[in-house]
Amino acid sequence: MSTIQNRPAALDEKMLAELDPSEQLADVLAIPEHLRDAVWKAESAAVEPWESSGGLVVAGMGGSAIGGRLARAILGDQASRPVLGVAGYALPPWTTPEVTVLCASYSGETEETLACFEAAGVIGARRLVATTGGRLATAARAEGVPVLPLAGGLQPRSAVAYLTVAALEAAAICGAGPRLTTEIDVAADHLEQLSVAWGPGSDEDSEAKALARALHGTVPVIAGADVTEPIAYRWKTQINENAKQHAFASVLPELNHNELVGWGSAQRFGRFSAVFLDDSDATPRVQRRIELTRGLIEDAAAGGTHVVPTRGQTSVERVFSLVLLGDLVSIYLAVLNGEDPGPVPVIDTLKARLAELE
């Protein structure tokens, strides 16, 4: 019998505790405190700033990579140099000694990030490392590369606050952006309020729980634009890993030039839902595209179409409001699916088999 038929009657605190033995929900609710602790850890590293005319490249994979993408969204037009992410074994071919490279690996054992660390050293680029330890920390200390420490004991994807703050700190160190300590502290206070409104003790019709129920049994397609583009990708990956199901991320306005056509036959292939992440500071043109796109696809979206706005004033508040909401939705979806959101055995199996090849 399917998990859809056997889903819990209520997403109450007791049911959530039973179906989340690894306490992933607690790590999501701790994001405000993670932000504060991340600032303290970054400051305690006491890395002297330098000027890097080539900007910042953040090398990382999976949960360790998202911090760089979110940092770029947060910086927006405050970035005075390029801030770009790379996921893979190689740095961009245009990387020069004038570029600062932040190598982010929560475990310190990510082979792609280790390759980028070595490559950055070969070309003479200034390097920073964000990790909890492993071979990456060992190599960094051996070569005198500054380490921005992260809190241990988390799933990499649950360290999103630490990794984002580390990327923001790296941008400040190399002159690619301003230091945003005050904005991060204010955002943490704001997120504590949202945690109450959306958390396990909230009403069954609270936004996070209601959205999870609406998406349950469907393949969510999450669309972002500008600031919300990396957040849409975060929602996709959190639903993949926590809820153990497919989800996809799209970008406006690009999706209006291709994906929009595919929605016409969506019901022939499965049950899909659409989520549009709308930044309160987005241009009216993007907001109009969301309205028009939603109207054109609503009949094909079995799980409905949903517009989810950012909350808050600063870019840190707005970005992390949707990070928190998406993380909560993914945990609630896991419970509705009858899945423990913590373990990711297939990823562990892949890593073990790759290690055997060495």
220: left (phi over 0), alpha (psi -120 to 50) or beta: beta
Strands (DSSP E) contained in 132-196 are: 147-149
pLDDT of residue 333: 96
pLDDT of residue 51: 85
Q: Residues 6 or more apart from 209 whose CB is under 8 A from it?
A: 11, 198, 202, 203, 332
Superfamily of domain 28-179: Glucose-6-phosphate isomerase like protein; domain 1 (3.40.50.10490)
Question: Six-digit token pair at 16?
Answer: 């959530």
Topology classification of domain 13-22+202-336: Rossmann fold (3.40.50)
> What secondary structure, in 3-state letters, does 184-250 show?
HHHHHHHHHHHHHHHCCCCCCCCHHHHHHHHHCCCEEEEEECHHHHHHHHHHHHHHHHHHCCCCEEE
Residue 62 has phi, psi (to 5 degrees) of 55, -135
357: number of Cβ within 10 Å: 5
144: left (phi over 0), alpha (psi -120 to 50) or beta: left
153: number of Cβ within 10 Å: 8
Query: Cβ(213)–Cβ(299) under 8 Å?
Result: no
Quick check: helix, strand or coil at residue 9?
A: coil
Query: Cβ(116)–Cβ(90) under 8 Å?
Result: yes
Q: Residues 6 or more apart from 234 whose CB is under 8 A from it?
A: 66, 69, 70, 160, 323, 326
Quick check: helix, strand or coil at residue 295?
A: helix
DSSP3 helix / strand / coil % (the chain, rounded to 5): 55, 15, 35
Domain ranges of the chain: 13-22+202-336, 28-179
**Which value, in Å, is the radius of gyration of the alpha carbons in the chain?**
20
pLDDT of residue 17: 85
pLDDT of residue 14: 82
Residue 255 has phi, psi (to 5 degrees) of -65, -25
**CA–CA separation, 220 and 212 (whole Å):** 10
Helices first, then strands: H and E counts in the chain: 15, 9
Query: Cβ(246)–Cβ(240) under 8 Å?
Result: yes
Query: Cβ(33)–Cβ(190) under 8 Å?
Result: no
Q: What residues are annotated to the active site?
A: 241, 257, 351
**CA–CA separation, 123 and 198 (whole Å):** 47
Could you state, in chain order, the average pLDDT of each consecutive group of 10 residues for the chain (358 residues)? 47 85 95 98 95 93 94 96 95 95 97 97 97 98 97 96 98 96 97 97 94 97 97 98 97 97 96 97 94 97 96 97 98 94 93 85
Q: Is-same-fold flag (13-22+202-336; 28-179)?
A: yes
Rounded (5°) CA angle 280-281-287:
70
